[in-house]
Amino acid sequence: MKKRFYPDHPLHQLLQERILVLDGAMGTMIQRYKLSEEDFRGDRFTDHPRDLKGNNDLLSLTRPEVIREIHLAYLEAGADIIETNTFSANGISMLDYDMADLVYEMNLASARLAREACDEYNYKTPRQPRFVAGALGPTNRTASLSPDVNEPARRNVSFDQLRDAYYHQVRGLVEGGCDLLLVETVFDTLNCKAALFAIDQYFEESGRSLPVMLSVTIVDASGRTLSGQTLEAFWVSVSHFDLLSIGINCALGAQEMRPYIEELSRLAPVYLSCYPNAGLPNEFGEYDQTPQEMGALLGEFADSGFLNIVGSCCGSTPAFTREIARVMAGKSVRSLPKVPAYPRFSGLEPLTVRPDSNFVNVGERCNVTGSRRFARLVTEGDYEEALEVARQQVENGAQLLDINMDEGLLDSEQAMTTFLNLIASEPDIARVPLMIDSSKWSVIEAGLKCAQGKCVVNSISLKEGEEVFKHHARLARRY
């Protein structure tokens, strides 16, 4: 994966000088317009068979003046970066509206609306450049969790489907004029990795590239994502990508988010972003925090050296942006930490191999070529007992789990997929990183498409020649 973000980029230069302000909630502002079903349909979709009210991304096509007004309001309030109206404008989420075929058009139009608004302000205030961030949300499906507790190996979306959906979204955002991309509100790291894969693939194939921001959502006081990863494990899982920034948004207010922002500010040697909700919702699902309350909390974050980019999420308005911009004026930027370059892996939890670490214990009994019992269990389809083999190894101290399905009588790709999906449903097993073990690249790739953590690949071969070896190595890194 090429390093694409260069020090002379204007964003990089500005981030060394001051804390940049990201805009606030789009959905909160759209609600204030009290739009009807007819507004969402416009003239173009009067006969569409599905209800369209609530499909906010569609408004970039049917009520573009509303989206433009919202962008201008945030820019007027002091936002340095505004997000496109594309949180759900992907081929997965748009299936609910029978509009997957409009994804490219939605993203192109949304990016152009934000671009025009930014250009208007850049013309007025050329010494204060404003930037457009192409927003990529998490979709409404999860690749790491089953939709049915009775079928833990089942998934309602695949890595390939997510990658393809994000690829078309990225194409529209880049061609529409975005300055950077923002993968946000990440609740499942596997979904996120599919987005990053698609971004890198598009950059390589198009010859165009932009800085990329990434923002995860910590769902509660457990300090984990919805799919179960700790914050450090999440960072390890995505640290292979050349990121402009890493951050946290949504789910929590600033006060609840503070310990996780502090932790991430120590972990990540890239810029850090933070955009919390306007507190926690009350019993009516509304947000009561004032701009001044949020501004004071975020001001303390800045004083503590946590921030490079700051904004607000659900429940916020341009009034929050204005107060945040006022508070951040003159605040010192966060210095990037120096993090030792140790080998780091992750399942739901991280594994760091330091110079003073003892041997890393690899559990090798989930291997059909090395364990007759495991081979029999998998061949007979007894995955419940096969999981117990994995569980026992973790309980006995295995720090990595080697998984091998190279058996002539097996559909090895399907067996790898099924077993890793089952492991993902067992947190006491999934907490350790995986070693995907096969002599066939197709099986390794099938495993990598199921793992939200950072795995070990065991291994790739030169028997097909150096070029194939390099191709597989690059792909393994992209995953």
Where does 55-158 have alpha helices with state H? 59-62, 64-77, 103-124
88 in a structural domain: yes
The verdict on 318 and 351 lying in the same domain is: no
Domain count, the chain: 2
Q: Are 144 and 177 in contact (CB under 8 A)?
A: no
Q: Residues of 107-139 as b/e, b for ≥16 C-beta within 10 angstroms?
A: bbbbbbbbbebbeebeeeeeeeebbbbbbbbbb
| Model confidence at 166: pLDDT above 90 | yes
The verdict on 305 and 362 lying in the same domain is: no
pLDDT, position 433: 99
Angle at 286 between CA 261 and CA 143, to 5 degrees: 55
Q: Which two tokens stand for residue 296?
A: 């004071």
Q: Which two tokens stand for residue 220?
A: 């509660």
The verdict on 415 and 285 lying in the same domain is: no
The verdict on 278 and 152 lying in the same domain is: yes
The verdict on 41 and 128 lying in the same domain is: yes
Which among 277, 299, 328 is the end of a domain?
A: 328
Maximum CA pair distance of the chain? 73
The Cα 275–Cα 385 span in angstroms is 44
Compute the mean pLDDT over every residue in the chain, rounded to the nearest whole number: 97
Q: Which domain range does residue 465 map to?
A: 344-478
166 in a structural domain: yes
pLDDT, position 108: 99
Each residue's pLDDT tens digit, 70-89: 999 999 999 999 999 999 99
| Model confidence at 427: pLDDT above 90 | yes
| Model confidence at 396: pLDDT above 90 | yes
Where does 227-286 have alpha helices with state H? 231-238, 254-267
| Model confidence at 53: pLDDT above 70 | yes
The verdict on 321 and 452 lying in the same domain is: no
Strand order across the 20-21 sheet: 20-21, 309-310, 271-277, 245-253, 212-216, 180-186, 131-136, 81-83
pLDDT, position 9: 80
Q: Are 410 and 368 in contact (CB under 8 A)?
A: yes
The verdict on 108 and 221 lying in the same domain is: yes
CA–CA distance from 227 to each of 122, 130, 141 (Å)?
Answer: 40, 34, 12
Q: Mean of the pLDDT values across residues 159-186?
A: 99
CATH number for the domain spanning 138: value is 3.20.20.330
The verdict on 283 and 361 lying in the same domain is: no
The verdict on 313 and 364 lying in the same domain is: no
Each residue's pLDDT tens digit, 182-228: 999 999 999 999 999 999 999 999 999 999 999 999 998 999 999 99
Each residue's pLDDT tens digit, 271-327: 999 999 999 999 888 999 999 999 999 999 999 999 999 999 999 999 999 999 999
pLDDT, position 97: 98
Q: Are 395 and 429 in contact (CB under 8 A)?
A: no
pTM for the predicted model, two decimal places? 0.96
Q: Mean of the pLDDT values across residues 151-173?
A: 98
423 in a structural domain: yes
Amino acid identity, position 298: L
4 in a structural domain: no
174 in a structural domain: yes
Which stretch of DSSP H or E encloses residue 185? strand 180-186
The verdict on 313 and 349 lying in the same domain is: no
The verdict on 88 and 202 lying in the same domain is: yes
420 in a structural domain: yes
Q: Which two tokens stand for residue 295?
A: 């501004």
333 in a structural domain: no
* Residue 461 main-chain phi, psi, to 5 deg: -120, 155
What share of the chain has pLDDT > 90, as a percent? 95
Which among 328, 362, 390 is the end of a domain?
A: 328
The verdict on 249 and 372 lying in the same domain is: no
33 in a structural domain: yes
pLDDT band at 8 (very low <50, low <70, confident <90, very high): confident
Of residues 277 and 6, the one with the higher pLDDT is 277
pLDDT, position 266: 98
Residues in the chain: 479
Which among 328, 360, 384 is the end of a domain?
A: 328
pLDDT, position 7: 66
| Model confidence at 399: pLDDT above 80 | yes
| Model confidence at 3: pLDDT above 60 | no
pLDDT band at 93 (very low <50, low <70, confident <90, very high): very high
CATH number for the domain spanning 466: value is 3.20.20.20
Signed CA dihedral, 402, 189, 423, 354: sign only = positive
| Model confidence at 6: pLDDT above 70 | no
Q: Mean of the pLDDT values across residues 132-138?
A: 99
Strand order across the 362-367 sheet: 362-367, 400-404, 434-437, 456-458
